[in-house]
Amino acid sequence: MRLVKGNNFISLKDYDRDDILSVMQGISSYDDQNLKRFIPNNKKKLIANLFYEPSTRTSSSFYAAATYLGHEILSINNVQYSSVAKGESLEDTIRTLASYVHCIILRHSEEGAAYSAVQVSDVPIINAGDGIGEHPTQTLLDLYTIYKEFKRLDRLTVALMGDLKYGRTIHSLIQVLDLFDVHIHLIGPHELKLPLQYYKKEYIESTMLTENIAMSIDVLYITRVQKERGAVGNYAFTREDAMKLDNKCIVMHPLPRNEELGDWFDSDPRARYFEQMSNGLAVRKYLLGEILG
Amino acid sequence: MRLVKGNNFISLKDYDRDDILSVMQGISSYDDQNLKRFIPNNKKKLIANLFYEPSTRTSSSFYAAATYLGHEILSINNVQYSSVAKGESLEDTIRTLASYVHCIILRHSEEGAAYSAVQVSDVPIINAGDGIGEHPTQTLLDLYTIYKEFKRLDRLTVALMGDLKYGRTIHSLIQVLDLFDVHIHLIGPHELKLPLQYYKKEYIESTMLTENIAMSIDVLYITRVQKERGAVGNYAFTREDAMKLDNKCIVMHPLPRNEELGDWFDSDPRARYFEQMSNGLAVRKYLLGEILG
Amino acid sequence: MRLVKGNNFISLKDYDRDDILSVMQGISSYDDQNLKRFIPNNKKKLIANLFYEPSTRTSSSFYAAATYLGHEILSINNVQYSSVAKGESLEDTIRTLASYVHCIILRHSEEGAAYSAVQVSDVPIINAGDGIGEHPTQTLLDLYTIYKEFKRLDRLTVALMGDLKYGRTIHSLIQVLDLFDVHIHLIGPHELKLPLQYYKKEYIESTMLTENIAMSIDVLYITRVQKERGAVGNYAFTREDAMKLDNKCIVMHPLPRNEELGDWFDSDPRARYFEQMSNGLAVRKYLLGEILG
């Protein structure tokens, strides 16, 4: 199983189709059970949840996953106020923690931080997002939401809508979808176009969700304008857009959301963003299960 | 039992005399045991302690209560730094957490936040204080301190002293005391008078603790000037005041305290504020016990 | 055993040679086992980790130690944002917590805070560092690192190098080393000389690590410039210094480190600072074991 090769989980970059599909099945086996059930564990571990950047959603989801699996968690948030403020390098912090715990879940603001951590750690590192780098567990839960709905990742048409420039989840998702037979539509304002480096295949581009696109897609994936990363631009999923969409098209969003996706759509049977978020628990339980045994 | 109606605990507003008295007995049954004993629990739950406003006392007390009952706690403090900073609504945060945990304890700065949370949550919500709204577990521990002392909530004379304008605990307590045969004295500076809406019965008002009042009261409840809410005014419980008080009169304070209650009184046998605080553990154990089974 | 006299652990000031040696043996017995093993505990306790000052290393190490011993931990960080901000005294915070938990680990910015806490606490207090006062568990782990290496604390020559003026770990360590037959070299810039009050014996002073000193020492203990306490000055352990050192001389550092100790030395067989840090886990497990049984 390549996922836990070397016991770290850092990137999806060298995963192939078969890897991804077998991960999907693995997550599915966790998802088939009650996600909030405590699983007896006579080999419990101590896991550090080391978050340099705040992220309630991701840290809470890892915390819950580890807890239900019977592990203990040492939460370290707001690292900016601690020894790091005394100039400590990430490497020394990782070395320190690695001598206290059995596994480190790392969220960091700098691309490549997770790789750096692996170099000096005696215990497994899980990448919970490193700046504009990757956020591989988010990508897995996005993929799993699609897989759970359609029982496949091939023969699908997916529209990615919104901030295609700064949206890390988009960049990550698109690379994995490219492994499969997926038609991709890119929809968004000119100012927020996908950076050139992510154009690996031919994508169909437009500035709005036309009726033609709306009728043809299986998934509409909307993202937030990453204002905190400097994005400027406006777009929103409207009631007219919703009416154009096919009945079987699901609507996803990585959350948090702002004005681009109103809560008027929440009760629509095609809305999948809350389920998507809740799939994060299955993904993280699977991952910790694979890595910690 | 109305307390856990709908499985949420939001407000004491629609509690009647009998409800309150049965709650007092329930708390008492927890208080009769060693409060710091771990109770074996084969139905443990994961509880989120979601504090938008910091409150060491309340969050610690809930944390301890849940831990002694054998539950697990996911603590989320300093929410201001996390996804909320990305503009997430309270409702979306609640929806997210509700998919990870079995119960949410919510402290928020805005009145009505707890009600809003209930509307979107799949799991029980416990109100740990919402702005100038309510702080019902504080009120329960205030009431229980009186009940524990006198074995009744009727035929009592209570003086509320200090910041009657901004003191949320006063507003909340007065409404429940009005259900019982309690004579209430209001003592405080003109600038910090009780807002009109809380005058449901006739209260005896004065600007200082006179000898007459001091001799007649069973409970002296002192509060802090809520400077952070804009209160201006000064008052303090003095050694002369203490000498006027009857030997059986107990002195309460919700803590934290400032200059209005000096530590010279701490060893006085009539001081009950530390016991009052420690009663918070019994109250919260009872509450979690009722809600989570 | 004086260590847990009165059940508190506040200072090493009144420890004598025999006390220290018996503590070393006690720590050793924990260190002989797998430090990351969970020890079954049917008398588990709830411990408050009360940190007024952030210190990831110390709080994490206590957290891990308590967790492996089967205890529960209530973590209170960033106290500056909580009831303390409402003007609460340390004493009231301690009284509050003491009514919820079985033991309090206290880190505070003011000298003497741990003593003040003991005066009002019903439960054991462990000093995790109080300002420029003491940080006794750090001193124990420093001593234990030396003891573990040489199987003795006598007949040793130790060089303390760097910020001798503000370095609390230095001040604390020197006082305990003075109990033993240890020759001490002080090496550092003039601006950062050891304060007069710590000169209890005769120490050999110099501004640099000469070849003569380097050849004669068993331990080189380097510290960081405490810029956050106002220290000004520069020094660094260089490759030339490393070449002068005897093969059996170990190099220690309390971490975090800055430019005074480069990572080029990390793989040198004489480097002990990571082991030193990891010894913190054994020290804290021993201490909690002694105090909580």
Q: What is the mean pLDDT of chain B?
A: 92
Instruction: Fold for C12-134+280-292, please state it.
Output: Rossmann fold (3.40.50)
> Nearest residue of B to residue C87 by CA position?
B258
- Which of C38, C75, C77 has its CB closest to that of A44? C38
What is the average per-residue pLDDT within B25-47?
Answer: 95
Specify whether the CB–CB gap between A47 and A100 falls below 8 A: no
d(CA C174, CA C161): 12
Return contacts of B85-90, CB within 8 angstroms, 24+ apart: B85/A54, B85/A228, B86/A224, B86/A228, B86/A256, B86/A258, B87/A256, B87/A258, B88/A255, B88/A256, B88/A257, B89/A263, B90/B116, B90/B117
Residue B86 to residue A256, Cβ atoms within 8 A? yes
For residue B283, the model assigns a pLDDT of 98
3-class state of residue C145 by DSSP: helix
How open is the CA angle C194-C196-C198, to the nearest 5 degrees? 70
- B252-273 pLDDT, tens digit per residue, is 999 999 889 999 999 999 999 9
* Residues β-bridged to residue C130: C108
d(CA A154, CA B93): 33
Instruction: Tell me: pLDDT of A2 over 50.
Output: no
For residue A1, the model assigns a pLDDT of 43
Percentage, residues of chain A above pLDDT 70 = 93
Q: Give the A-side interface with C, CB within 8 Å.
A: 44, 46, 48, 72, 74-76, 78-79, 81-89, 91-93, 95-97, 99-102
Subunits that touch chain B (at least 3 Cβ pairs < 8 angstroms)?
Answer: A, C
For residue C6, the model assigns a pLDDT of 58
**Which H or E run contains A220?**
strand A219-222
How open is the CA angle A186-A190-A191, to the nearest 5 degrees? 115
Q: What is the mean pLDDT of chain C?
A: 92
Give the sign of the dihedral formed by CA B257, CA B261, CA B265, CA B270: negative
Task: Give me the residue spans of the domains in chain B.
Answer: 12-134+280-292, 136-277
For residue C77, the model assigns a pLDDT of 85
d(CA A282, CA C113): 45
Q: In the structure, what pLDDT confidence band is assigned to residue B86 with cuts at 50, 70 and 90?
A: low
Residues in chain A: 293
- C10-26 pLDDT, tens digit per residue, is 999 989 999 999 999 99
Taking the CA of residue C64 and the nearest CA in chain B, the distance in Å comes to 17
3-class state of residue C126 by DSSP: strand
What is the average per-residue pLDDT within A107-129?
Answer: 95
d(CA B197, CA A226): 45
> Nearest residue of C to residue B60 by CA position?
C74
Residue A96 to residue C277, Cβ atoms within 8 A? yes
For residue C235, the model assigns a pLDDT of 85
- Extended strands (E) in B84-161: 103-108, 125-130, 156-161
What Å distances lie between residue A109 and A112, A225, B80, CA to CA? Answer: 9, 18, 18
Residue located via tokens 């206590």 = C62
> Nearest residue of C to residue B279 by CA position?
C99
Percentage, residues of chain B above pLDDT 90 = 83
For residue B293, the model assigns a pLDDT of 82
Residue C67 to residue A74, Cβ atoms within 8 A? yes
For residue C292, the model assigns a pLDDT of 93
Instruction: Tell me: pLDDT of C232 over 50.
Output: yes
Helices (H), B35-120: 56-68, 90-98, 113-120
Question: How do strand C204-206 and strand C182-187 relate by DSSP bridges?
Answer: parallel
- B132-158 pLDDT, tens digit per residue, is 888 999 999 999 999 999 999 999 999
- Which of A72, A76, A82 has its CB closest to that of C67? A72
Among A216, A218, A219, A177, residue whose Cα is nearest residue A200: A177
Instruction: Tell me: pLDDT of B198 over 90.
Output: yes
What is the average per-residue pLDDT within A233-252?
Answer: 93
In CATH, B136-277 is 3.40.50.1370 = yes
**Which H or E run contains C284?**
helix C273-292
What Å distances lie between residue A47 and A8, A102, A224, B154, C288, CA to CA? Answer: 13, 6, 31, 52, 21
3-class state of residue A108 by DSSP: strand
Give the contacts of C134 (CB within 8 A, at least 6 positions apart). C10, C11, C12, C13, C114, C127, C168, C172
d(CA C161, CA C236): 9
For residue C1, the model assigns a pLDDT of 45
- The model's pTM is 0.95
How open is the CA angle C69-C9-C186, to the nearest 5 degrees? 110
For residue B138, the model assigns a pLDDT of 97
Neighboring chain B residues of C76 at a CB cutoff of 8 Å: 56, 60
What is the average per-residue pLDDT within A200-205?
Answer: 94
**Which H or E run contains A241?**
helix A239-244
Q: In the structure, what pLDDT confidence band is assigned to residue A6 with cuts at 50, 70 and 90?
A: low
Q: Is the peptide bond before A269 cis (omega within 30 degrees of 0)?
A: no
Give the sign of the dihedral formed by CA B277, CA B279, CA B285, CA B289: negative
Instruction: Tell me: pLDDT of C135 over 70.
Output: yes
Residue C278 to residue A76, Cβ atoms within 8 A? no
d(CA A86, CA C167): 14
- C146-177 pLDDT, tens digit per residue, is 999 999 999 999 999 999 998 889 999 999 99
> Nearest residue of B to residue A51 by CA position?
B82
For residue C168, the model assigns a pLDDT of 86
* Residues β-bridged to residue C221: C160, C252
Specify whether the CB–CB gap between A183 and A156 falls below 8 A: yes
For residue B229, the model assigns a pLDDT of 67
3-class state of residue C119 by DSSP: helix
Give the contacts of B154 (CB within 8 A, at least 6 positions apart). B180, B181, B182
What is the average per-residue pLDDT within C198-219?
Answer: 95
d(CA B260, CA B253): 10
Residue B75 to residue C79, Cβ atoms within 8 A? no
Give the sign of the dihedral formed by CA A23, CA A26, CA A31, CA A36: negative
d(CA A246, CA B225): 59
Taking the CA of residue C280 and the nearest CA in chain A, the distance in Å comes to 9
What is the average per-residue pLDDT within A44-56?
Answer: 94
The total of other beta-carbon atoms located within 10 Å of residue C169's CB is 23
- Is-same-fold flag (B12-134+280-292; B136-277)? yes
What is the interface size between A and C, counted as CB pairs within 8 Å?
A: 68
